[in-house]
Amino acid sequence: MLVLVTLICITYWVYRWRNPRCNGKLPPGSMGFPLLGETLQFFSRNTTNDIAPFLKERMKRYGPVFKTSIVGQPVIVLTDPDLNHFVFLQEGQLFQSWYPDTFTKILGRQNVGSLHGFMFKYLKNMVLSLFGPESLKKMLPEVERTACRRLQRWSIQETVELKEATAAMIFDLTAKKLISYDQDNAPQNLRENFVAFIKGLLSFPLDIPGTAYHKCLQGRKNAMKLLKNLLNERRAMPGKSRSDFFDFVLEELQKEGTILTEEIALDLMFLLLFASFETTSMALTLAVKFLSDDPSVLKKLCEEHEKILRNRENTDSGLTWKEYKSMTYTFQFINETVRLANIAPVIFRKAIREIHFKGYTIPAGWAIMVCPSAVHLNPAKYKDPLTFNPSRWEGVEINGATKNFMAFGGGMRFCVGADFAKVQMAVFLHCLVTKYRWEPIKGGNILRTPGLQLPDGFHIWLMEKTGMKVIARDSKGMEKKKTQVYHSAQQKATGISLTQHHHK
């Protein structure tokens, strides 16, 4: 009798799991196995730029809206542009930002993505004080100097792994602006902890020593410890101002009646450091890869940036904000890069109350998964969506998210660092194509799990260019002996194929 009752209970539980109750009609789909759901399928590997098989198969079977379960949470998956846009527009009314518990554990319980209402707006305004347009105008010369210095340093190396190199460049710049962090004089390497954190961010959430997820949690723990120590050191020297974001945070923490807590401040700092360098460095690496693969695009980009130099009275002067804003084709190129990259594979929200839309019911408390990749690779909107074609953006003005472009999110949670990312990408590309040529050496293969990775990196040989001559220098600045048949995309773009002879 006990066995029978147990079997009946288990059967009923499984039935209820696979057939959730709803005051209406749930979208079609499968809830998968009890507790596990379809988590394994969601984290399956994909080595193309196309829509992930998890989404593609279910879109074909169920349509643009379907239900599933991931890491124990019932989820409504949206690949419909209208529905996605509706979710962003109804932020705070019908939907709110949400992450699975496994993500929240990684990003912090008080991270800005998990906060709502007045607190979210308060933190957003704090961040805009650092990454807003006026601040970026002042920051432009430093961004250019940083890019030029790094490129010159890389040009004396035999090879450069571009993803790692650009990540280090952007992290050092951002950490300096946020917390006056100087890697060369720091007792511990802050970025190493973020590298461990990133590798497990979108991995299967198994917290066992040796797994990527466990290393991710340890990386966060170590990084938060370092940030807390820096905050305490800053408090111990109240009279020493560094005019960075940490100073601004400390002022807010010391105000009477402030709503900012130390936990929220540290989680904010952690998220800003992570978001500012990981996504931008990945986009930059893919941008260079796309240029290497398409000489015609490279030629157009070179022409735009060489024109900027020709129009200057002083060719050695730095970039101006007016010149930056004139980079029409560069912005088209950036749009196309982030469209095809789909660095943020999914965006989560949660239904605040029961919602009826297009004949379906979304129960209150259910998670919503917005899928930018399904929108960005929609053949009904983008002709040949897997083809890299910056010219498709010609005449298209994008100042935020649209129904068909959400690389930086949308609605009131549109990425506050989007303009900062574009500045860094545009300035880096300007310095790169006007002063250097490069040749891919190895790597460049992508892996999505579902987050985007480059498991083999992207290794290039970078060369300084002076007129038609390519110079390779050693660590002392002297020209190397090198005979190199130069068949890179840069020469193909200009129709040149030379055997380079370099002598001391």
- Residue stretches of the annotated binding site: 415
C-alpha gyration radius of the chain: 25
What CA dihedral angle connects 28, 71, 274 and 288, to 10 degrees? Answer: -50
Non-local (6+) Cβ contacts of 499 within 8 A are 483, 484, 485, 486
Measured CA to CA, the distance from residue 328 to residue 395 in angstroms comes to: 9
Report the 10 Å Cβ neighbour count for 124. Answer: 15
Pairwise CA distance, residues 126 & 424, whole Å: 20
Distance of CA 202 to the CA centre of its chain: 13
Q: Are 309 and 434 in contact (CB under 8 A)?
A: yes
What are the residues whose beta carbons fall under 8 Å from the beta carbon of 209, sequence distance 6 or more? Answer: none
Burial status of residue 283 (CB atoms within 10 A of its CB: 0-12, 13-18, 19 or more) = buried
- Residues 496 and 486: their CA atoms lie apart, in Å, by 9
Query: What is each CA distance from 322 to 154, 194, 308, 328, in whole angstroms?
Result: 29, 35, 10, 12
How many angstroms separate the CA atoms of 439 and 459, rounded? 9
Q: Determine contact, residues 178/246, Cβ cutoff 8 Å.
A: yes
Q: 65 pairs with which residues across the strands?
A: 78
**CA dist., res. 169 & res. 283, Å (int):** 14
Alpha helices, H only, 90-161: 101-107, 117-131, 133-154
For 224-293, the three-class secondary structure string (H helix, E strand, C coil) is: HHHHHHHHHHHHHCCCCCCCCHHHHHHHHHHCCCCCCCHHHHHHHHHHHHHHHHHHHHHHHHHHHHHHHH
Contacts of 421 (CB under 8 A, 6+ apart): 276, 279, 280, 283, 408, 415
Mark the binding-site residues for heme, compressed into ranges.
415
